A and B are shown apart, each in its own frame.
Chain A
Amino acid sequence: MRLHILRALVGKELRRHIANRGGIALGLLLVVAALLLSVFNPAGLGAGGSSADEGGTGLVGGVHHCFLYYTGEDGELISPLLDHLEQTLPSELAPHVRFRNLAPDRIQSGLEYSPGTASIRITAPVVDGSRRLRVEIFHPPGAVAAMAPYEAWLWRELRDGLQLIAERKLQSLGVRKPAIRTTGADDDDLWAVRDSFARLQQDVEEAKPGADIVPAVEIDRRGLGGQVLELRSAIATALVVFALYFSCVYLLPTLNCEERERGVLLAQALSPASPFEILLAKFLFYPVMGGALAAVIAGIYKPAVLSTLFFWMGLFTVAGGFLGIGMTIATLAKTQRAAFMGAMCYLLSVSMILIIASTNGIPVISNFALEYHVPRVLHAALSGSVQSDHWLHLLAAMGLAAIWLTVAGWLFRRRGWQ
């Protein structure tokens, strides 16, 4: 490796971009977008700093999946109740509700809620020697109403279910026709709901005093503990990812193929520059350019992120992975147009796969895409919410980046320059 050759090759790449101006213009646009994102902050929030119930709004409103967690501590109460709930689940809600057994021994780590998801937890703890039915609603922060369709069904059927259980027990205890009021419990007013359960308990108690058939129902409704995808940090993440994607997966292959098409690559190959030096110059220039642009954007959005190891590790990983993807496209494509189409098709196909996998609950496939881990890693870095699972995402991204670089290197060795 000769420095004067490397300098000349890197300088050539830079001068080409200065002469063409298109890449620089787009880079500046990204910087301007980051500046606007930083300057215009209507909620007055710090970068990425929305509290659970205050500012955050998901990119898509509503709850598309509701997880109903339950524990099987009390077989006499929970199991028949769950059976009733499952049987009475309206068909329009059925695809959106997932029943999950949340036995304490099955919980190994904190639950992570993707944007657009929420949960209902039904447990039957014993408090002060008496059985209680505790129902907790966890809605997306700032979006209580998003759970309305689920709650309407839940309160109504939960009360009906409890009433059925009570009637069966009363019958077994010899009470033929208990006087139970059938007040609906599908009100969205929690006080009315609580009152409905209280009256049921009272009616059953009056029918068979001291039997303790219907437990006291505790109702709680709160926002999810974590943060939802905050719009501003999501946009900042998108800008950072796009800067790297644009540089490594679009510019690198298209300009590489343009040089090949024009014969300029051949002219360089015939000069004293070795193939390794020509490649190294491209490897140095494009990820560095994309990385620098990404760092500038991230720095404008949240300067503190530049001092975090996690951000830089994420940035280098993404740059390496995208470089591998870009070089793979550059090696396979013969013309500039083919490289452009390759970059676009890759983007579209990966997006489609990720969307299909997430909407159909197939998380395994997503794990094989660099683009699944990358936004999570960078978003966590930019929003300052790095958790242990983000390190796992980073590790997965590193592995995928290494695979892409290996594939690119192998293909390049097989297919060569022409």
Chain B
Amino acid sequence: MQNKPAHFAFFISNFELVRLGSKLVRNSERESPDMTDAAISIQGLRVCYGRFTAVDGLDLDIRKGELFGLLGPNGAGKSTTIRVLIGQRRPTAGRVAVLGKDVVREWAAIKPLFGYVPDRENHFEEFTGRRNLEFFADLYAVPRLRVNECLKMVELDDAGDTVVRGYSLGMRRKLLLARALLHEPRVLYLDEPTANLDIHSAEVVHRILRERVEDGATVVLTTHDMDEVEKICDRVGIVCKGKLVALDSPMNLKQQHTERKTDAILTTGERMTINMDREPERAKLAELVRSGATASLRTREFDFHATFLKLTGQAFD
């Protein structure tokens, strides 16, 4: 910094001030009483592709500073909802607002406020990772130093000067995240952000997303990874056939929708399943344990995967 020209240093320090200011604003937003204010408000959203209805009357509020997971089977309407949110698909009916601004009418004003990680990478293959970020940094009027920060954040600082054509799938996805983070957006949309990532890289992504949320940003992600949802999401919305079928925290959803059962193997070799929600069966299990008739007991763990399948009507009998 000291070697930079004075005007550049001034610009950087201004940028830092802006960052600090926005951070303070976001923290105050988190701490303010109206923390439940919706960052994203979807009312009666309906999207049709010809005769096919992809999203059918979706009502959803996503709070500020929340990491929200949008789940659903293939073709449920998740990606269409994201497309509407980023302004790439006009709703057939309904209203969608991001940070209080209508997505259709105020798209230009919303664009600088969000970052988007698509489900397939869309880089300039002939550029290096750094050059890709620099181009978008120029569009967002973000200083070049931020490019280095973002590359480092996603652990691509060593590969920054390599042409993207030579990147692995995981590196490409991390570069997408770095690009989405360049301008420190207040809302971040991610379409399967950890697909093709190794365990460590997925952890890095999770950490970054949690940090963004702690800084007051709102993160919306779609994924098929149930462990990921359970691990990092504050709330989950499950959509199926264009409709919202469940909306709660992962833990609450599990508690609401998973049957609590215990599998017992008796000393006689007989197997039985005890439903822990029924008093007579619980009493019977207690008696078996007291009498020493049980050879093995195994409680079924809460299974978010099973909950998801059940809610989306895809569970096997």
Contacts and interface: CB of A to CB of B under 8 A. Distances in A.
Nearest to B128: A19
Interface in B152-177: none
A135 B269 CA distance: 125
Interface string B129-164: 001000110111100000000000000000000000
Interface stretch (B2-10, B57-65, B115-123): B115-123
A221 interface: no
B287 interface: no
Contacts of B302: none
Nearest to A12: B135
Given A264-B124, A272-B111, A4 B136 contact: no
A8 to B, nearest CB: 4
Contacts of B187: none
Most buried by B among A11, A20, A263, A267: A267
B120 to A, nearest CB: 6
A273 interface: yes
A262 interface: yes
Interface residues of B, number: 24
Contacts of A262: 122-123, 125
A16 B88 contact: no
Given A15-B131, A271-B111, A5 B139 contact: yes
A8 B131 contact: no
B190 interface: no
Interface in B232-255: none
B139 A274 contact: no
B122 A270 contact: no
A126 interface: no
B281 interface: no
B88 A7 contact: no
Nearest to A21: B126
B140 A271 contact: yes
Most buried by A among B120, B135, B141: B135
A19 B128 CA distance: 10
Interface in A231-285: 262-264, 266-274
A415 to B, nearest CB: 14
A271 B122 contact: no
Interface in A1-38: 4-5, 7-9, 11-12, 15-16, 19-20
Given A263-B118, A263-B120, A266-B88, A271 B139 contact: yes
A20 B108 contact: no
Contact of A267 (B112, B125, B127, B136): B136
Interface string B86-102: 11100000000000000
Contacts of B120: 263
A337 to B, nearest CB: 17
Nearest to B114: A270
Contacts of A5: 138-139
B139 A8 contact: yes
Contacts of B126: 16, 19-20
A272 B138 contact: no
Nearest to A269: B88
Given A4-B141, A7-B138, A12-B135, A270 B124 contact: no
Nearest to A264: B122
11 contacts: A5-B138, A9-B139, A12-B124, A264-B122, A266-B118, A266-B122, A271-B136, A271-B139, A272-B111, A272-B139, A272-B140
Given A263-B120, A266-B122, 17 more contacts: A4-B141, A5-B138, A8-B135, A8-B138, A9-B139, A11-B138, A12-B135, A15-B131, A16-B126, A20-B126, A264-B122, A267-B118, A267-B179, A270-B87, A270-B111, A272-B141, A418-B88
Interface of A: 4-5, 7-9, 11-12, 15-16, 19-20, 262-264, 266-274, 418
